[in-house]
Structure 1
Amino acid sequence: MFRIAVRHWVTLGAALLALFASLLAVQPTQQAAAADGKPYTNPVKSQKGADPWLEYYNGNYYLVTTSFTGELTMRKSPTLAGLSTAPSVQVWSDSTSSRNWNMWAPEIHFFDGKWYLYYSAGPRGSACCDDQRTHVLESSGSDPMGPYTHKNTFTGSNLNPNGWLIDASVLKHNNKLYLVGSGSAGGSKQSLVIAPLSNPYTLASSTFTVISSPTLSWETQSGEVNEGPEPLYRNGRTFLVYSASACWGPDYKLGQLELTGSDPLLASAWTKKQTPVFQRSDANSVYAPGHNGFFTSPDGTENWIVYHANDAAGDGCDNGRTTRAQKFTWNSDGTPNFGTPVALGATIAGPSGETATTPTAYTIVNRNSGKCLDVNGGGTADGTNILQWTCNGGANQKWRVEDMADDTSRLVNVATGKVADVAECASADGADIRQWSWLNNNCQKFRMVYLGGDYVRIVNAATGKVADVADCSTANGADVRQWTWLNNNCQQWRLVPTTA
C-alpha cells in the first residue's frame, strides 16, 4: 500500500479520475443480448408427437418421436417453427418380426462421427407391451437421418419380464458411457435402471442397477412409474430428469435426480428431488407433460426442453399427444428451472441464433434431371398431369408435405390445393401420377423413405411403387408416373425447403 501525504489529495484525486476514465475507454462493451429466433407456436408436431427427441446439428433441427408402428420418421428444419410443417421422412423400417412393432421413444446420439438411434420395440401382433426391448441403430456417416443399420439389442439379465427395457438414453460421465432406461429388476416396480456400456452399442455388463423407484406420492398417480430418464449437464453437475406416474393419467410429470456421488452405477450416488420439476397446468390446458429431451439454441446461449403433453385431462397415452418446446432457465442453486408448460397457440420467440427463413412448402427436385415436380401449366382441374420442368419458383412447383398421422403424407400443390394421386388407383408400372381433389384414400398418400444425401424415394401407400420420371428423361415435360423401385437416380427426389 502507498502512503500519500494529505496535502497531495487533490492532485491524486485528479490523477485517479483520469486513470479511471482511461480504463473505461479500453473496457470491452457489454455483449449484446442474443437475438431471438423465428417466432413459433406449440405444438411443433401435432401428429404422433409422443416421446420427442430433438437435436440441432449443422444448421438444422432434427425431430424424431414415437410411432407405435414398425417405422420411424424424422423431421428436419432450419428453424424450430418449421418443424410443424416439415416432411415426416421414414428413416427406419424393420421386417424382423421380433422388433417391428410399437416403436417407442427414439433418440439420436452422436459418437465418433456416427449417429446412434436408440428406441424400444416389440414383435408385431403381440399384446402390448410385455415384449418391449431396447434396440440401437448405427448411421453410415454423419447424417442424422441415416441411412441406418440395426446394430444391437440390449437385454438386461436381471430385468423382468425376460429383459424388458424401454426409454433408453445414454449418460456420459468421466469419459465413460452408461445406458439408462426404465425397467423392473427383481421385484421392483417400473424404475430407472442403469448399466455400463463398452461402446455405444454394447453393454459392458448385462446387469442393471435400480437408481430410482416410484416411492413418492406424486410418482404413483394412476400408476407407479419412473421412466424416460434424460441426462442434463451444467457446470460439472449431472442431472437425470425423468417422467413419473402413469402416462395415461393427467398427472404424468417430470422429476429429477442428481449425481452427487462418484459412481453412477450406485443407487446411493443419486439424490432425488422430493418435488416434481415440471407438471400439469390447468390454467394453460396442459396435461401430462413428460418424456422430454433437451437441446441448445443454435448460438449455444440458451437451454431448451422438448416434451409431449395433452390438451385435455382425459386424453391418455396415445398418438393424440403433441410435441411442444420451450426455453428453460437455471436457479441460483445451479438446478434447472423448467417453469410452467406454455399454452398451445401462444406465440413464442424461437431459439436464439436462428437466421434461416422458416420453410412453409417444398420443391421436389429429381436427382437425375435436376428438374422440379410440376403441375402442368398450373391447371386446377382434376386430372391435370404432374410432370417435371425446369425449377422456376412457381407456385405450381411448390408442395406442402402434410403428415397424415399414419406414417404417410399427402402432397398438396400450393397453386391448386389439389393432391398428387395415382390415376384410377392402378397398381401397374407406368400408371400416371396426376393431381386430384382430396379423397382421403391410399392412392393419394405417400411415404418419404430416406436414401441418404438428402434424397428420398416417394412410395405410394396403396401400390408400394415409387414416383419415377419416364424413361429417365431430362426434358421439360417428361411425365412422372409410378414404377417398381429400381434404385436409380430417376426415382430419387430431394425435398428443398421454400416458402409458399
Structure 2
Amino acid sequence: MAIPIPSGRGGVRRRTVRTLLAAVTAVLVSAVVALVAPSAAHAGPAFTNPLNSTGPDPYMTWYNGNYYLMTTPWSGPLTMRKAPTIAALKTATPAAVFSAHAAGRDHSIWAPEFHLLNGPNGQRWYIYYSAGNGDIETQRVHVLESAGLDPLGPYTYKGMIFGSNNWWGIDGSVATINGQLYFTWSGVPTVLWRDSDPHIYLVALANPWTVTGARTAISAPTYDWERQGTPMNEGPVAIQRGGRTFITYSASACQGPDYKIGQLEYTGGNVLSAGSWTKKAIPIFQRNDAAGVYGPAHHGFFKSPDGTEDWIVYHANSSAGDGCGSTRTTRIQKITWNADGTPNLGVPVATSTILAPPAGEPAGPAVAMRLQSYNFNTRYVRHANYDARIDANVSPLADSQWRIVPGLANTAGGYVSFESVNFPGYYLRQSNYDFALVRNDGTAQFAADATFRQVAGLADASAVSYQGYSAPTRYLRHYNYLLRLDPVSTATERADATFRLTA
C-alpha cells in the first residue's frame, strides 16, 4: 500500500549520494545542456487527439512546409489553421480566408475542402463548401479560387458549381480519374432534400468550378448500417493508390453514434456509370466504445510530409449522446493498406493515445505535457536533483514538464519515452526498477529502460498507465511519492500506476 510521507523523507542514503554528486556536476551540466539537441528520431513532437475543441467536417493537407486545416464554421468567415507540426497545429490561431458571403449563401456554411488544381490560370487552390439561406433545401456547393499558390489566399468567389442545374448538394470534393477531373458530392435524385435519401453523385468538370454533362448516382444508402438514425450517404472523398481509385463516404445519421465510413471502388469502364463502382458490404471505420469514440466519419486524407504515409482526418464525439453539432472534434491517425490493395483505416483511437507525428515532420518546439497523479491529483511527476517523484507546487514548473516522444526502443505500438523539457536529451529511465533523469547515452539498454507502452489507465480507462518495455510485467507507479517500476495487482497499486495527461 502506498502510504504518503512528507516530501522531506523522500531521500534515502543512495539518493543523498546522488544529490551530492548532482550538486558537484550541476555547473557542468548547465554549461552543456544548451548544446544537447533532441535525438533526430524525435523530429516533430508526439501528440494526442483531438486537434481542437470543436471541429466538424475537417479537411487538411501538408503543403510547402506546413499543415493546413479547415473545418465547418457554421457562419462568418471561412478560416484555415496553419502550422509546421501537428502539435503546433493544435494551438494555431485560425486565419480568415474568405468572408464575402452574399445573401442566399451566408448561412449553414459547412464542410470546406481545399484542393490544388490546374485551372485556366495555372495551378490554384480551390475551396469547395456548402451554404444556403438557412433553409436546408437551399444548400448548394460553392467554389472559391486563390490568387496564387498560398493556401491562405486571397480568394475570389467563382460561383455555385452546379451552374444552371437545380441540384441540391452538400459535401463537395474532387478527384482526377483517367485524366479527367470529376466532382463528387452528396445529393438527392429529386429537387427537394426532404423527398429522398442523400446519395453519392459524380459528374465531370469542365474546369474546377463548372460541371459539365449529366450526373450519376454511384451509391445510395441501401445497407442497414447506412440507415441508422437516418438513411444517409454523404461526405465523399477520394483516395488513390497503385492506379486504383476509392471513394470513401459517411453513412447513417451524423446525429447519432453510428455515423461511420463506407467504401466504393472504381473497377473500370465508364467512370460515370454506376456499374463501374463497387460498394464494400461492410463499413471500414466506425464507433469504438472501448476507446470512447462515437460517430467517427466526415473525413479526408493527407500524406505525411515525406510522402511515405497516408493519414485520415475525421471528426468524432466523445459521448454516445453527443449530436451533430459543436461537440465534434477533429482527429487524425495513420492508415495502412491491406494485402489486396484496399485502404485499411483501422479503428479510431482514444483521445488519451499518444501518437507519433507523421513521418518527415520537421522538428518543432517541445510540447510541455504533465503527468498528474490519479490518486494524488495535486501532485505531478517531476525531476528533482535527477531523481523522479511526484510533488505538488512544483517550482520551477519545467521540472514537471515532459516532451512525450516516440519510444527510443520502439516507435510503434504506442511506445513512448519522456524527455525533460528543461534538460533536453535527458529522459526518465528505470534502473533496477528505480527512476532517475538520465542523459541518453545512445545505447540499446538505455533506450529499452527509457521506453514504455502507453495503455488505458489501470484504475480508470479514461486516464493512462505505462508498461515497462524492458520489464513488461511492471508498470510506472509512485510509492512514497517516488517513481518505481513495479508489478501491479491491488486497487491501490492500480491507482498509483494511473496518471492523467495535462498541458
TM-score, normalised relative to structure 2: 0.62
**Mapping for residues 276-295 of structure 1, pairs under 5 Å:** 276-295=283-302
> What corresponds to 1:177 in structure 2?
181
1:216 counterpart residue number: 223
Q: Following the alignment from structure 1 to structure 2, what is the Cα–Cα distance between the partners of residues 305 and 63?
A: 12
Contact 1:263–1:269 (CA under 8 A) maintained in structure 2: yes
Contact kept, 8 Å, 1:93 with 1:100, in 2: the verdict is no
Aligned to 1:204: 212
Matches of 1:164 and 1:188 in 2, distance apart? 11
1:154 aligns with 2:164: no
For 1:257, the aligned partner's letter is: L
Deviations along 1:454-483, one digit per CA (max 9) or x if unpaired, are xxxxxxxxxxxxxxxxxxxxxxxxxxxxxx
2-structure distance, mates of 1:154, 1:76: 27
Alpha-carbon separation, structure 1, partners of 2:109 and 2:211: 21
Aligned-pair CA distance for 1:188: 4.8
Q: Which residue among 352, 372, 377 is the counterpart of 1:345?
A: 352
| SS at structure 2 position matched to 1:340 | coil
- TM-superposed CA distance for 1:360, in Å, is 7.2
* 1:269 has 2:273 as partner: no
Task: Specify which of 106, 116, 136 is matched with residue 143 of structure 2.
Answer: 136
- What is the CA–CA distance in structure 1 between the aligned matches of 2:225 and 2:209, rounded to whole Å? 34
3-state SS in 2 of match to 1:130: helix
Q: 1:192 aligns with which of 200, 203, 206?
A: 200
Query: Of 145, 168, 171, which aligns to 1:167?
Result: 171
When residues 76 and 358 of structure 1 are mapped into structure 2, their CA distance, relative to the original with a 3 A threshold, is farther
Cα 1:176/1:35, change in 2 over 3 Å: farther
- Residue 347 of structure 1 deviates from its aligned partner by 1.1
Q: Any conservation in 1 of the 2:59–2:70 contact (CA below 8 Å)?
A: yes
Task: Tell me which residue corresponds to 2:337.
Answer: 330
Separation (CA, whole Å) in 2 of partners of 1:46 and 1:266: 41
Whole-angstrom CA distance in 2 between matches of 1:314 and 1:260: 38
Residue among 216, 239, 258 paired with 2:265: 258
> d(CA) in 1 for partners of 2:279 and 2:171?
19
The answer (yes or no) to whether the contact 1:120–1:133 under 8 Å persists in 2 is yes
Q: Deviations over 1:391-428 (max 9, x none)?
A: xxxxxxxxxxxxxxxxxxxxxxxxxxxxxxxxxxxxxx
Q: Does 1:88 align with 2:98?
A: no
C-alpha change, 1:260 and 1:157, in structure 2 (3 Å) is farther
Match of 2:60 in 1: 54
Contact residue 140 and residue 148 of structure 1 kept, 8 A:
yes
1:65 to 65, 71, 90: 71
SS in structure 2 opposite 1:39? coil
Q: Which residue of 2 aligns with 1:97?
A: 103
Give the Cα–Cα distance (whole angstroms) in 1 for the partners of residues 111 and 269 of structure 2.
28
Bigger mean CA offset, 35-44 vs 245-254:
35-44
Secondary structure at 2:104's aligned position in 1? Answer: helix
Name the structure 2 match of 1:355: 362
Partner of 2:116: 110
Q: Are the counterparts in 1 of residues 52 and 90 from structure 2 also a CA contact under 8 Å? A: yes
CA–CA distance in 2 between the matches of 1:156 and 1:163? 9
RMSD: 2.0
Distance 1:120 1:305, change over 3 A: same
Q: Is the 8 A contact 2:299 2:314 kept in 1?
A: yes
- Three-state SS of the structure 2 residue aligned to 1:218 is helix
Determine if contact 1:231/1:241 at 8 Å carries over to the other structure. Answer: yes
Distance 1:259 1:188 in 2: 25
Question: Does the 8 Å CA contact 1:35/1:353 hold for their aligned counterparts?
Answer: no
Tell me if structure 2 keeps the 8 A contact 1:183–1:192.
yes
Structure 2, unmatched stretches of 5+, are: 1-39, 369-502
Aligned partners of 2:167 and 2:138: how far apart in 1? 9
| Structure 2 Cα separation of the partners of residues 77 and 107 of structure 1 | 17
For the residue of structure 2 that corresponds to 1:40, the secondary structure is coil
CA contact (8 A) 2:258 2:294 kept: yes
AA paired with 1:175? G
Q: Could you tell me whether the CA contact under 8 Å between 2:42 and 2:363 is conserved in 1?
A: no
- Could you tell me the TM-score, scaled by structure 1's length? 0.62
Q: 8 Å contact 1:227–1:242 — kept in the other structure?
A: yes
Q: Distance in 1 between matches of 2:327 and 2:172?
A: 22
What do the CA deviations read for 1:183-217 (whole angstroms, capped 9, x no partner)? 00137521001111011111112x32111000000
1:79 aligned partner, one-letter code: T
Q: Secondary structure at the match of 1:283?
A: helix
Given that 2:87 and 2:367 are in contact with CA atoms closer than 8 Å, whether structure 1 keeps it comes out as no
SS of the residue 1:261 aligns to: coil
Q: What does the per-residue CA deviation read over 1:125-144, in whole Å, with 9 as the maximum and x for residues that have no partner?
A: x33x1111100000000000
Deviations 1:304-348 (A, max 9, x none): 000000000010001110000000101101011111101013211
Aligned-residue identity in percent: 55
Q: Is the 8 A contact 1:71 1:103 kept in 2?
A: no
- 2:45–2:366: 8 Å Cα contact kept in structure 1? no
Number of equivalent positions: 322
CA gap 1:36/1:269 in 2 versus in 1, 3 angstroms: farther
Q: 1:203 aligns to what SS in structure 2?
A: strand
Structure 1 residue matching 2:182: 3-state secondary structure: strand
Alpha-carbon distance in structure 2 between the residues aligned to 1:163 and 1:262:
26
Aligned to 1:121: 131
Q: How many angstroms apart in 2 are the aligned matches of 1:273 and 1:320?
A: 29
Find the aligned partners of 1:35 and 1:156 in 2 and give their Cα distance.
49
